[in-house]
Amino acid sequence: MLKKLDKYIIKTFFGPFLFIFSVLCFIFIVNIVWIKLSDFTGKGLTPFEISKLLFYLGVSIIQMVMPLTILLSSIMTFGDFGEHYELAAIKSAGISLFRVMRPLLMVVGIIAGILFLFSNNIIPSFNKKAKNMLYNIAIARPALSFTAGQFVTSLPGTSVKFDKIEGENGQNLTGVFIHKTANLYEDQQTIVAKRGRFANAEDPNYLKLVLYNGYIFEDNIDGSDFSRRVKQPNQSVKFDSLVSNFDISELRNQAIEKEKVTDNYDFHNYSEVSNDIKKVKNDNKSGFETISYDILSQISPYLTSDGVKDKTKLPPLPFKLDTLDSKKRLRILENAYDKITTLKDNSKNYKNEIYNMIKHQSTVIKYQQKMLSYSFACLIFFIIGASLGSIIRKGGMGFPVVVAIMIYIVFYVIDLTAENLSWKSRLNPYLAVWLPNIVLFPLSIWLVFKALTDSQVFDAEKYKMFFKPIIKPFIKKEEHKRYQ
């Protein structure tokens, strides 16, 4: 049964909690809008579709916002209690600080549990909706999927590449290459143009492309026998301007959120990701074995899978290097050098392949463990925030907010550093996820002890007196102004 004091503490906590949560969500969503909005505006998407997509992408930020919200709101709540002498009055009545923290610790525990359920059930569902919506938008509106310098096959029956995509809405093109997808027995056609631009088509089922200063290369071999196809000369037509319309009616008729992408680790809950991790580990194990076998076979065909020479398979040496003349010796050495260079180049490629496999495995593990680690981070941040608030004894948006942000920056830097180390296989990915909590948990215990003993952690005079004997020999004594 909650007492009046418990109700008052909880009520005081939820005021800054809701305000800070709203502000942080707004800031993070604005960041997503700033990054993503330019990719979709002016390209045929309705405001409703853009808003829906940004909402799907923004749901996952709650997982990051919640720990910081609890840290800030707990510091502000207990800072207000200390600033208005409410905490002193409570202690004078014989109520300990831990008893004051207990109702909020229960509330934060419930929030942490809800955050885990949200991360386990809601976020994967919205990740799936966002990725499928992006996929179907890219199909229904191929102009969105064009990337400079890359071949794109989203247009039906055509491969397209643009060297440069410029303009406010990406409508101006430079270095256009369009190739009709056909087999060896169909008419081949390739269009090359120096410039081009996307234009508004009268029929929305068509994508209109206007090209300037280019050539059309084609051959008419459809229905011809082999002898005629061999004799058929290539034809080229030069043009100053050319209008090409691509039929995308079939693509546009697809539902904007029809599920096409269904197999991805960030679509799954905690238990399902465990199966994904097992699959990734088995795939990586097979990949490592294949790479090791390839490397050993390139070094010598007489090495076993363990890298040990099989003397029973070694043939007798056909010659001795010292018995050959200088030209043959030089040729053999050049061949050996070329082989070593090839092995070095291949080892670099294998290194990149291994790095990508390890990075993917670490990413999947981190996605799963974050569901739990962020929930525990909420509890740790509450303990830190409540302790700091009772020590600082200042509320509002001033000094407490600065301290909270500094602590969160430390948490975030440790998280990023550990993640990078796990990608390079220098740190276990499970430890990398939990390392920020492991580092901050002792800090939370120390701050609770300092808060319970009313220690002045942020008393500047105390630290001046501590360092005074060390600094004193290096400080020049000033003479009295009267004698200067």
Answer yes or no: is 477 within a domain.
no
Residue 382: its pLDDT value, please?
Answer: 92
Residue 482: its pLDDT value, please?
Answer: 53
The mean pLDDT value for 308-325 works out to: 57
pLDDT in tens, 179-201: 887 665 667 788 899 888 887 76
Q: Give me the domain span that covers residue 25.
A: 4-138+371-467
The mean pLDDT value for 323-344 works out to: 76
Residue 109: its pLDDT value, please?
Answer: 92
DSSP letter, residue 382: H
What is the distance, to the nearest Å, from the Cα of residue 235 to the centroid of all Cα atoms in its chain? 48
Angle subtended at Cα 460 by Cα 459 and Cα 464, rounded to the nearest 5 degrees:
125
Residue 114: its pLDDT value, please?
Answer: 94
Tell me how far CA of residue 88 lies from CA of 81, 384, 391, in angstroms.
8, 19, 12
Tell me the angle at which helices 326-392 and 399-423 cross, rounded to the nearest 10 degrees.
150
pLDDT at 115 over 60: yes
CA–CA separation, 369 and 100 (whole Å): 31
Same domain, 92 and 10: yes
Rounded to a whole number, what is the largest CA-CA distance in the chain?
115
CB distance 239 to 94 below 8 Å:
no
Q: Which two tokens stand for residue 355?
A: 């790095």
CA–CA separation, 279 and 276 (whole Å): 5
Same domain, 289 and 321: yes
3-state secondary structure (DSSP) of residue 195: strand
Answer yes or no: is 260 within a domain.
no
User: What is the number of alpha carbons within 13 Å of residue 302 lying toward its C-beta?
Assistant: 8
Same domain, 190 and 286: no
CB distance 171 to 195 below 8 Å:
no
3-state helix, strand, coil in the chain (%, to 5): 65, 10, 25
The mean pLDDT value for 191-215 works out to: 82
Query: Which carries the bigger pLDDT value, residue 300 or residue 13?
Result: 13
Domain boundary among 312, 341, 365: 365
Residue 467: exposed, middle, or buried by beta-carbon count in 10 A (0-12, 13-18, 19+)?
Answer: exposed
Same domain, 44 and 127: yes
Same domain, 419 and 353: no
Domain boundary among 365, 390, 417: 365
Contacts within 8 Å (CB) and 24+ apart, 362-366 = 362/419, 362/422, 362/423, 362/429, 362/432, 364/265, 364/273, 364/276, 364/277, 364/280, 365/277, 365/429, 365/430, 365/433, 366/419, 366/422, 366/429, 366/432, 366/433
Query: Which carries the bigger pLDDT value, residue 171 or residue 268?
Result: 268
Type of residue numbered 132: N
Answer yes or no: is 479 within a domain.
no
CA–CA separation, 247 and 269 (whole Å): 40
Domain boundary among 217, 247, 277: 247
Answer yes or no: is 259 within a domain.
no
Q: Which helix (H) or strand (E) holds 361?
A: helix 326-392
CA–CA separation, 104 and 110 (whole Å): 10
The pTM assigned to this predicted structure is 0.68
Residue 295: its pLDDT value, please?
Answer: 74
Domain tally, the chain: 3
Residue 134: its pLDDT value, please?
Answer: 74
The mean pLDDT value for 21-34 works out to: 85
Residue 475: its pLDDT value, please?
Answer: 66
Q: Which two tokens stand for residue 459?
A: 């008393």
Same domain, 22 and 98: yes
Q: How confident is the model at residue 242 (pLDDT cuts 50, 70, 90)?
A: confident
CA–CA separation, 354 and 191 (whole Å): 40
pLDDT at 322 over 70: no
Q: Provide CB contacts within 8 A for 33, sequence distance 6+.
A: 54
CA–CA separation, 317 and 427 (whole Å): 46
Count H helices and E strands in the chain, helices first: 13, 5
pLDDT in tens, 400-454: 778 888 888 999 899 999 988 888 888 888 999 999 999 999 988 988 888 887 7
pLDDT at 1 over 60: no
The mean pLDDT value for 116-144 works out to: 78
Same domain, 85 and 151: no
Range among 142-146, 253-257, 274-278, 389-393 rated most confident: 274-278
Q: Extract the runs of DSSP E, i.e. beta strands, from 146-231.
A: 158-166, 172-180, 188-199, 206-219
The mean pLDDT value for 19-26 works out to: 89
Residue 423: its pLDDT value, please?
Answer: 84
pLDDT at 255 over 70: no
pLDDT in tens, 68-100: 999 999 988 888 887 788 887 887 888 888 888
Same domain, 98 and 177: no
Q: Which two tokens stand for residue 479?
A: 């003479």
Answer yes or no: is 484 within a domain.
no
Answer yes or no: is 435 within a domain.
yes
Same domain, 95 and 80: yes
Same domain, 48 and 76: yes
Answer yes or no: is 474 within a domain.
no
Q: Provide CB contacts within 8 A for 175, sequence distance 6+.
A: 161, 162, 163, 164, 194
174 phi/psi in degrees, rounded to 5: -135, 135
Same domain, 111 and 204: no
Residue 229: its pLDDT value, please?
Answer: 60
Q: DSSP alpha helices (H): ranges in 223-305?
A: 226-231, 249-252, 270-299
**Parallel/antiparallel/unpaired status of strands 235-247 and 172-180:** unpaired
Same domain, 16 and 109: yes
Query: Which carries the bigger pLDDT value, residue 205 or residue 168?
Result: 205
